[in-house]
Amino acid sequence: MTTTADRSATAGPGAAGPGAPAPRLRRPATLTDAFLRDLVARVPGSGGQTWDLAEVYTGETLVQLPQSTAADIERAFAAARSAQQEWASWPLRKRLKVFKKAHSLLVDNAQTTADLIQAESGKNRRMAIEETCDPVMVISHYLKRAPKLLKPVTRGGPVPVVSSSTEIRQPKGVVGIIAPWNFPFATGLSDAIPALMAGNAIVLKPDNKTALSPLHGIALLERAGLPKGLFQVVCGEGPDVGPTLIDNANYVMFTGSTATGRVIGERAGRNLIGCCLELGGKNPMIVLDDVDPDEWVAGALFGVFGNTGQICMHIERIYLPESRYDELKARFVAAAESLRIGAAYDFGPELGSLISVDHMQRVHSHVQDAVAKGATIVTGGNPRPDIGPAFFEPTVLEGVTGDMLTGCTETFGPVVALHEYRTVDQAVALANDTDYGLNASVWGADLDRAVGVARRIHAGNVNVNDSLATAYASKGTPSGGVKQSGVGARHGDQGLLKYTDVQNLAVLKKQVMGARPGQDYDEYVKGMLTGLKMMRRTRIR
């Protein structure tokens, strides 16, 4: 570690202090003013407008982030498109060599990256370090898989021997990526890596609040040999930047809310370009009556409160069996109350800040709405300005119903509702009673039984005896949402192939695709039909 806080405000939610001022932190030594200015110098902003990018723990401005105009965005796409032509001409092995070097640089600079992630997002140190691992894992997977996926595949043509058809994967061109604030480094880089390997260029729009860590990651990629200009960054508010970005892109990758995803999908459709959308969730957890409480509590605690509840796949609804409800509730609540909340650049705090005061107020409003409509706060429920401007206690609710904000929409904070069920069929029905389908979790000692329940849940990701990490970290398997939780997927073969267009290169060695000059057509048709019957047995695939 480079440095720690002057005072680490680590305390459980029951600690006194909401009236006291937040402690002052010392910024990590890595985050010098010169270093931060060099990062944001990569962002075009010809209009002169800037955004105050703040340290979330304190609310103090770290740097002035340029805001890109429509003309800036168009120039970024032009530069990226120019660089992409040369990049796509490189042999695949030469492109992959860049990422072999990048893998080492990303690992070696993980501590500095984590400092940036913590400063701009307010998450605790564990989550920041784990976020730095994601692009490295993606690189490791696609270094092995890309040569096979991008290799031309020759198949038989319509007439055996004298014809062939070759599937060639061509890069789409320039991919526009709109990354969220909750995992800015991971999504900003990990979604770009397979696109770059496939021969594309990137124009990334990070969230204004969290632009520093992806900018640092791009600088590391360029140190590894990525051509300058190939990976562009533009910044601004979504409504200001998004339309121009989508109108100039050949493909769009978006992670964020369902409401914004609909707008992006509609515009991409009008432009006849593809898009991949990972959207919201209202993720359930079903706990079966044979669960091991020790293992479950630890896993559920991370599933609910990891990244202060700001994970697209985090758990917001827990269904407990009637026969063990009081026991499991008591264990979980006690564990939640023991979490250490704090603002520190070390591994002391287990729970960090929410992203902003505005978001904290939104989370608080969901809790207040639930209480006003009859729900009960079992623990937590309060902002913690004594720790930092956007901190909120880990909160457990009971009695949440569908007419409450936190009962039907994504709260996206350290808030979970406990529900009691009598039969597994009832639990499955309740878990599926949502417009969302991103992630779900099932816990039980009998794995066959738990897997059987998991298969009945309508979600793109379902974890058995884990909350979310196993599914997301399985880079060889596609990860995406169903229903209102998204379109398409990242990871797996699909996570790279979506950034390519398929060219069908067909070759006919001899002119046999029609009747010969002067040939009787009845005779030709008879021969053709006979050939079709034979083709079922002789066709080259």
Active site residues: 278
**What is the C-alpha separation between 113 and 213, in angstroms, rounded?**
6
**What is the C-alpha separation between 11 and 91, in angstroms, rounded?**
54
Amino acid residing at 439 = N
Amino acid residing at 423 = T
Which residues, in sequence order, are CB contacts of 94 under 8 Å at separation 6+? none
CB 195 within 8 A of CB 499: yes
Which residues, in sequence order, are CB contacts of 247 under 8 Å at separation 6+? 267, 271
SS3 content of the chain, % helix, strand, coil (to 5): 45, 20, 40
Strand order in the sheet with 415-421: 376-379, 395-398, 415-421, 315-321, 283-287, 439-443, 461-464
CB 148 within 8 A of CB 476: no
Q: CA nearest 93: which of 199, 206, 205, 240?
A: 199
For 31, half-sphere exposure in the C-beta direction (CA atoms, 13 angstrom radius) is 25
Which string of DSSP letters, residue by residue, matches 83-151? Answer: HHHHHHHS-HHHHHHHHHHHHHHHHHTHHHHHHHHHHHH---HHHHHHHHHHHHHHHHHHHHHHHHHTS
Name residue, tokens 């890309």. 146
**What is the C-alpha separation between 324 and 102, in angstroms, rounded?**
49
Rg (CA), the chain: 26
Lookup: tokens for 276 = 């991949």
